[in-house]
């Protein structure tokens, strides 16, 4: 068995499912790296050309989830082609389909995809051994270096999206940074501020001091006292990955976590995270509050993922919601000047907002010259100049992952209305959320996909009233322990 393939205990060996097969196949593909490389075509190479032009004539393949940064890059590849002479084919897929494509490509040794959108949980953690260590290129004097180096990336992003277990290796460059924050109808909060304050006994204006209990009270107040919106709050509580994201904000705020040392397991990741801690009293308290919160939320919440929730908010159904910050651009297009953005409320332990960012990696299966050509694209795609252009793109563009971009004068101005870069209206909220004390990081473990399904399946029963918070958390912990036990050393 390859050293990087988790050992299985015979007592807990499960039937081999499609996900397990793909994971094992990818690991075997990585193990056969030396023999597999010959199957992929090389790259055009001219040793006498300038560093950015040495691979002119090469065609690279980039596989990505259909995200805003990739949409912006796909619409404006001409500057890269002009700079390098390299052509890039971009394939965009839904994330689960992407993960399967990448797994099969790595397992086959074909190296069809040179640059990979490496979701930390469905791609990077399961297949980390098959990706190139990017220090190989950054330290190569014959290749262009990253402007600002690795240190210019937001530190929490570089760990969460770029590393796995090893603090030194860099397997991906932070590429997008979707983060959950509090989005609210600032016009309604202003209109009813004094009445709410008098009725509730606290200042309802969203702030770093606002608690989840106060959020609940504000939501109920809107339910009972206004006609402009049907409900005070809405959530992405569909039986889907979005439900895990929505609940996790509350879990962390109440001091609960999925595993011991959750900060490390979420940041650097772990092959063996230990036993699940969702059965703890803090996790049960979080589940009790979440169940209570969903009872007063828009009933449509149970059918919404993040997109459905964003659409409901823009349609005027709800006064506020936790959602990913990059919906700001859509909010401002539909309700200009009416939306406010803040860090999510705090609980008894802390405030936390789910980080959903991803990096781009270079396939270790690809031949050496193709990897070097791929470095030019990864370098350019995450460069400050490219991120700034993407931020202003009319067809997409994510939020920068580099600290230097946030220091740009135009970006600083865009944090306040009027602005042509609406995602920057969320900058203060996301910067606060990205602090190590506030960032919410789900476990970065090879088997997270299965664990995620267990979490949102059990939570669906909780919000439907089919199980108590304690029973839900205990059942989820037991299911996760069975899943992770397959990877424990016997």
Task: Note whether 173 and 185 are same-domain residues.
Answer: no
Taking 80 as the threshold, does the pLDDT of residue 18 lie above it? Answer: no
Task: Note whether 65 and 194 are same-domain residues.
Answer: no
Model pLDDT, residue 487? 65
- Mean pLDDT to the nearest integer, 236-263: 97
Task: Note whether 188 and 271 are same-domain residues.
Answer: yes
Residues 6+ apart with CB under 8 A from 490: 7, 8, 9, 10
* CATH (domain of 260): 3.40.190.10
Q: Which two tokens stand for residue 105?
A: 């490509």
Q: 121-178 pLDDT, tens per residue?
A: 999 999 999 999 999 999 999 999 999 999 999 999 999 999 999 999 999 999 999 9
CA nearest to 125, candidates 366, 489, 456, 484: 484
- Decide if 249 is inside a domain: yes
The Cα 450–Cα 446 span in angstroms is 9
- Mean pLDDT to the nearest integer, 339-357: 98
- Decide if 41 is inside a domain: yes
Q: 33-90 pLDDT, tens per residue?
A: 333 333 557 889 999 999 999 999 999 999 999 998 999 999 999 999 999 999 999 9
Read off φ and ψ for residue 450, nearest 5 degrees. -70, -40
Q: Are 164 and 171 in contact (CB under 8 A)?
A: yes
- Decide if 420 is inside a domain: no
Taking 90 as the threshold, does the pLDDT of residue 243 lie above it? Answer: yes
Percentage of the chain surpassing pLDDT 90?
86
Domain residues for the domain of 201 are 180-352+439-485
Model pLDDT, residue 42? 80
Task: Note whether 123 and 207 are same-domain residues.
Answer: no
Taking 70 as the threshold, does the pLDDT of residue 14 lie above it? Answer: no
Model pLDDT, residue 430? 97
Q: Using 50, 70 and 90 to split pLDDT, how confident is the model at 16?
A: very low
- Higher-scoring residue by pLDDT: 396, 230: 230
- Decide if 3 is inside a domain: no
Q: Which of 3-7, 296-300, 358-362, 383-387 has the lowest mean pLDDT?
A: 3-7
Task: Note whether 154 and 171 are same-domain residues.
Answer: yes
* Residue 12 burial (10 A CB sphere; 0-12, 13-18, 19+): middle
The Cα 71–Cα 332 span in angstroms is 19
**Predicted structure pTM score:** 0.89
Average pLDDT, the chain: 90
Q: Residue 339: beta bridge partners?
A: 185
CA nearest to 235, candidates 312, 288, 334, 325: 312
Taking 60 as the threshold, does the pLDDT of residue 461 lie above it? Answer: yes
Task: Note whether 329 and 398 are same-domain residues.
Answer: no
Percentage of the chain surpassing pLDDT 70?
91
Q: Which of 9-13, 280-284, 419-423, 443-447 has the lowest mean pLDDT?
A: 9-13
Q: 186-230 pLDDT, tens per residue?
A: 999 999 999 999 999 999 999 999 999 999 999 999 999 999 999
Residues 6+ apart with CB under 8 A from 78: none
Q: Using 50, 70 and 90 to split pLDDT, how confident is the model at 12?
A: very low
Task: Note whether 360 and 341 are same-domain residues.
Answer: no
Q: 431-444 pLDDT, tens per residue?
A: 999 999 999 999 99
How many domains does the chain divide into? 2
- Mean pLDDT to the nearest integer, 252-260: 98
Task: Note whether 228 and 189 are same-domain residues.
Answer: yes
What is the sign, positive or negative, of the torsion defined by CA atoms of 424, 429, 430, 431?
Answer: positive
The Cα 175–Cα 401 span in angstroms is 6
Task: Note whether 189 and 82 are same-domain residues.
Answer: no
Model pLDDT, residue 37? 36
Task: Note whether 216 and 115 are same-domain residues.
Answer: no
Model pLDDT, residue 110? 84
Model pLDDT, residue 21? 30
Q: Using 50, 70 and 90 to split pLDDT, how confident is the model at 91?
A: very high
Taking 80 as the threshold, does the pLDDT of residue 15 lie above it? Answer: no
Model pLDDT, residue 259? 97
Q: Are 249 and 322 in contact (CB under 8 A)?
A: yes
Model pLDDT, residue 490? 28
- Decide if 80 is inside a domain: yes
- Decide if 311 is inside a domain: yes
The Cα 344–Cα 181 span in angstroms is 5
Task: Note whether 256 and 222 are same-domain residues.
Answer: yes
Task: Note whether 43 and 167 are same-domain residues.
Answer: yes
Q: 330-347 pLDDT, tens per residue?
A: 999 999 999 999 999 999
- Higher-scoring residue by pLDDT: 423, 28: 423
Number of C-beta neighbours around residue 46 at 10 A: 12
- Decide if 428 is inside a domain: no
- Decide if 421 is inside a domain: no
């Amino acid at each position: 068995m390859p050293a990087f393939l988790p050992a299985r205990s015979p007592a807990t060996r499960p039937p081999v499912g499609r996900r397990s097969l793909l994971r094992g196949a990818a690991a075997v593909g990585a193990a056969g790296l030396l023999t597999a490389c010959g199957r992929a075509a090389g790259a055009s190479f001219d040793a006498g050309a300038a560093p950015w032009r040495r691979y002119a004539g090469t065609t690279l393949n980039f596989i990505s989830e259909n995200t805003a940064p990739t949409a912006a890059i796909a619409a404006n590849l001409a500057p890269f082609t002009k700079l390098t002479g390299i052509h890039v084919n971009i394939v965009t897929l839904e994330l689960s389909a992407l993960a399967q494509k990448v797994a099969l490509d790595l397992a086959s040794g074909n190296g069809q995809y040179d640059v990979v959108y490496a979701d930390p949980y469905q791609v990077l953690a399961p297949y980390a051994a098959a990706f190139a260590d990017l220090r190989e290129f950054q330290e190569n004097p014959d290749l262009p270096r990253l402007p600002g180096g690795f240190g210019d990336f937001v530190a929490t992003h570089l760990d969460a999206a770029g590393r796995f277990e090893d603090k030194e290796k860099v397997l991906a460059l932070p590429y997008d940074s979707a983060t959950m924050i509090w989005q609210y109808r600032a016009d309604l909060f202003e209109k009813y501020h004094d009445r709410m304050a008098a009725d509730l006994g606290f200042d309802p204006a969203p702030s770093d001091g606002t608690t989840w209990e106060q959020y609940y009270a504000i939501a109920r107040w809107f339910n009972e006292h206004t006609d402009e919106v049907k409900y005070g709050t809405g959530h992405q509580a569909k039986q889907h990955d979005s439900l895990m994201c929505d609940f996790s904000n509350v879990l962390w705020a109440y001091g609960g976590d999925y595993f011991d040392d959750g900060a490390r397991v979420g940041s650097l990741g772990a092959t063996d995270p230990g036993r699940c801690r969702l059965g703890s009293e803090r996790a049960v308290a979080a589940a009790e509050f979440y169940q209570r919160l969903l009872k007063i939320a828009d009933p449509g919440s149970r059918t919404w993922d993040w997109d459905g929730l964003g659409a409901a908010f823009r349609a005027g159904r709800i006064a506020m919601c936790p959602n990913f910050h990059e919906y700001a651009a859509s909010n401002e297009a539909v309700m200009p000047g009416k939306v406010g953005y803040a860090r999510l409320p705090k609980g008894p332990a802390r405030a936390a907002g789910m980080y959903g960012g991803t990096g781009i990696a270079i396939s270790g299966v690809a031949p050496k010259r193709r990897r070097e050509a791929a470095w030019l694209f990864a370098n350019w795609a995450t460069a400050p100049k490219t991120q700034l252009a993407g931020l202003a793109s009319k067809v997409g563009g994510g939020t920068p992952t580099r600290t230097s971009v946030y220091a740009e004068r135009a970006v600083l101005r865009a944090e306040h209305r009027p602005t042509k870069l609406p995602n920057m209206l969320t900058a203060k909220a996301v910067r606060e959320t990205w602090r190590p004390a506030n960032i919410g990081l789900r476990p970065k473990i090879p088997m997270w996909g299965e664990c995620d399904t267990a979490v949102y399946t059990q939570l669906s029963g909780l919000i439907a009233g089919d199980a108590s918070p304690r029973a839900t958390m205990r059942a989820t912990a037991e299911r996760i322990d069975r899943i992770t036990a397959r990877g424990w050393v016997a």
